[in-house]
Structure 1
Amino acid sequence: MEVMSTVVQLAGGAVLTTLTLAIYVIYIQPIYIISFFQSLNRWRSGCTIKYVKVGECQFAYMERGQPSENQPSLLFLHGFSDRKESYCGIIMHLPKHLHLIAVDLPGHGDTGIKAKADLNVEAYAAKLHQFVGEVGLDRGRLHVIGHSMGGGLAGCYTATYPETIWALTMICPGGILLPDKSVMFEKIAQGNKHVMIPETVEQAEEMFNIVLHNKSLIPPKQVLKGYVDYSKPYRNFNQQLFDAMLEHGQDGLTPYLGKITAPTQVIWGRHDKALHISSLDVMKKKITASLQVDIIEDCGHTVGLEAPTKVADLLLNFRETVYNK
């Protein structure tokens, strides 16, 4: 009885401690909420964090599974100001036997970038090619998948280094001059140049209203504060990169579309307010490779967050289609 009483007291103390810690994190240091869920999602996806030196730059990446002769590896490229963990929701719904890598692009997440580095898509593609060689992805067939800025990079990379590319998936890709102006570009035209780089909770809420169609997924204000605090160390670089994309890369993917030879899939959220779905009209005219277009209804720009199961199913269906051709 005495032992049981002690256990109950300890349990009660643990609950109180946990509650106190939760209150501290949520209201005093909400930045830790972001780090916690990133770690949780990595664990749930079964990925392991690894690092590799590529010239002067150390790349951070997540990996799951082993390369296979029968199944091409998958390389995931995230979007602007994002990081490798953004693919965890999709990866959770992919078969465990598939070998995959999700990488932090230079200047993002835990991957560094040298001062005054070139920020155009060609420079990023060249650096990515070095990474691919260092981790051995060039030894077998490769399925490259990119979202938003990463989608534009994936298209450029596939067109520039086609030797081992088995298939390409671009999700709401950037780098195409939009026939119809999106909400994001309307705000940029109105003078809100860095609408995607929030410095306050209110600006973060505005950004999430652009990228999410399902408004119930917009985080509460304390989590948004954590996001703003978490993003602060990246803010100057993100502003430089976004300025470079506006100046040089707003139409950076278009010249490469006709050079893509690998089977290509384009996935787009019907209600994308960051990059307008009308870009599909340009892609259909320019891409001469076999093309599969998949539109996700009731979905915005962040399809990996709004419809991870659907995206995983579409990826697997596309892979099956390529195999059967």
Structure 2
Amino acid sequence: MEAISAVVQLAGGAVLTTLALAVFVMYTQPANIVHFFLRLNKWRTGCTTKYVKVGEQQFAYMERGRPSKNQPSLLFLHGFSDRKETYCEIIMHLPKHLHLIAVDLPGHGDTGIKAKADLTVEAYAAKLHQFISEVDLNHGPLHIVGHSMGGGLAGCYAATYPEKMWALTMICPGGVKVPENSVMFEKIFRGNKHVMIPETVEQAEEMFNICLYNKSLIPPKRVLQGYVDYSKPYIDFNKELFDAMLELGQDGLTPYLGKISTPTQVMWGRHDKALHIAGLDVIKREMSAPLQVDVIEDCGHTVGLEAPKKAATFLLNFRETVLNK
């Protein structure tokens, strides 16, 4: 009994020491807070991180489940300056029998990008097409889900490669020009062009205020500092990419809407201050494909964080509708 007690005490001491060390490292190096939660959330989903070479470029992605003839695979595309783990909260509410992949787009997360690469939505769609072939997603039509910039890319891909599509879900998609500017675009047009690329804690707080309707979800300053530190290696590329998107005049997706033939779902947070919900009117007007619209109340731009369970429910309901047609 004494031996067992000693082992328990040693184990307890080791756990406490490890936790104390983890807290110290995260406090002295705040970026580790972000790394920790990225790994934790991915572990909670049951996803496995994988890498694949696409031409001269290495893509990082996470995967769960196996392809099925009865349930088309899901491919998740994140938004600007984000990464694959942004979908973890939604994935946790999806059945484990579904095969899904969430990918880091070029220049984001753990996927690199060549210097002076083509940053147009068409170039991203072509690279995504290569990725889909390399990870053997050619077994059947796909259900592609994209948020924000990823939503615009998903729409462009669906219009360009309709033979690959089974269903399309766009969440607060970017690239739709509307008469009324969002809070984000008001700040951009007043001179704060890189409001979504924070370099200080104060700027990060401003960005989260734009993205989140539920202000209680805004991280404390120490975590915001971690976010800023974590983002530093991506700042130059993010500015280059954002400038390239602005050159399109907010209109990168609109020309493709009428070319989409895939059954489509559009989700939008009612209180989105980054991309104005008036984009729904443009999508309804321009699209002729079957369209399902789901507006999420008391939610801003970051649907996956603010309403993951509701988003997952809407997603599954849409899939069921398409399956039954």
TM bracket, shorter-chain basis: over 0.9
Q: Are positions 1:276 and 2:276 aligned together?
A: yes
Q: Are positions 1:80 and 2:80 aligned together?
A: yes
Structure 1 ranges of 4+ moved more than 6 A:
none
Q: 1:7: how far off?
A: 4.1
Deviations 1:258-280 (A, max 9, x none): 00000000000000000000011
1:188 maps to which residue? 188
> Which range moved further: 229-238 or 6-15?
6-15
Q: Which amino acid aligns with 1:170?
A: M
2:208 maps to which residue? 208
Q: 1:245: how far off?
A: 0.4
> Which range moved further: 51-60 or 11-20?
11-20
Q: Aligned partners of 2:160 and 2:24: how far apart in 1?
A: 49
Q: Aligned partners of 1:91 and 1:8: how far apart in 2?
A: 36
Deviations 1:197-218 (A, max 9, x none): 0000111011001000011111
Any residues of structure 2 matched to 1:57-68 within 5 Å, and which?
Answer: 57-68=57-68
1:10 maps to which residue? 10
Q: Aligned partners of 2:144 and 2:27: how far apart in 1?
A: 40
1:147 maps to which residue? 147
Q: Are positions 1:126 and 2:90 aligned together?
A: no
Deviations 1:25-79 (A, max 9, x none): 3421111111111111111111111111111111100111111111100000000
Task: Report the TM-score when normalising by structure 2.
Answer: 0.97
Q: Aligned partners of 2:71 and 2:247: how far apart in 1?
A: 39
2:217 maps to which residue? 217
Q: Aligned partners of 1:289 and 1:194: how far apart in 2?
A: 35
2:231 maps to which residue? 231
Give the secondary-structure state (helix, strand or coil) at the position aligned to 1:25. helix
Give the secondary-structure state (helix, strand or coil) at the position aligned to 2:162. coil
Deviations 1:81-103 (A, max 9, x none): 00000001101111111111000
2:114 maps to which residue? 114
Give the secondary-structure state (helix, strand or coil) at the position aligned to 1:133. helix
Q: 1:297: how far off?
A: 0.1
> Which range moved further: 26-35 or 296-305?
26-35
Q: Aligned partners of 1:138 and 1:121: how far apart in 2?
A: 22
Q: Aligned partners of 1:8 and 1:135: how far apart in 2?
A: 45
Q: Aligned partners of 1:156 and 1:249: how far apart in 2?
A: 16
Q: CA, structure 1 residues 66+224, in 2 after alignment: closer, same or farther (shift >3 Å)?
A: same
1:39 maps to which residue? 39
Q: CA RMSD in A?
A: 1.4
1:314 maps to which residue? 314
Task: Report the TM-score when normalising by structure 1.
Answer: 0.97
Q: 1:288: how far off?
A: 0.4
- Work out whether residues 183 and 210 of structure 1, in 8 Å CA contact, stay in contact via their aligned partners in 2: yes
Deviations 1:109-161 (A, max 9, x none): 01111110000100000000000111111220100100000000000000000
Q: Which amino acid aligns with 1:300?
A: G
Give the secondary-structure state (helix, strand or coil) at the position aligned to 1:156. helix
Aligned length: 325
Q: Aligned partners of 2:262 and 2:146: how far apart in 1?
A: 14
- Work out whether residues 26 and 223 of structure 1, in 8 Å CA contact, stay in contact via their aligned partners in 2: no
Q: What percentage of residue pairs aligned between the two structures are identical?
A: 79
Q: CA, structure 1 residues 320+12, in 2 after alignment: closer, same or farther (shift >3 Å)?
A: closer
Q: CA, structure 1 residues 223+159, in 2 after alignment: closer, same or farther (shift >3 Å)?
A: same
- Work out whether residues 26 and 222 of structure 1, in 8 Å CA contact, stay in contact via their aligned partners in 2: no
Give the secondary-structure state (helix, strand or coil) at the position aligned to 2:271. coil
- Work out whether residues 177 and 249 of structure 2, in 8 Å CA contact, stay in contact via their aligned partners in 1: no
Q: Aligned partners of 1:57 and 1:7: how far apart in 2?
A: 49
| Structure 1 stretches lacking a partner, 5+ long | none
Q: 1:176: how far off?
A: 0.7
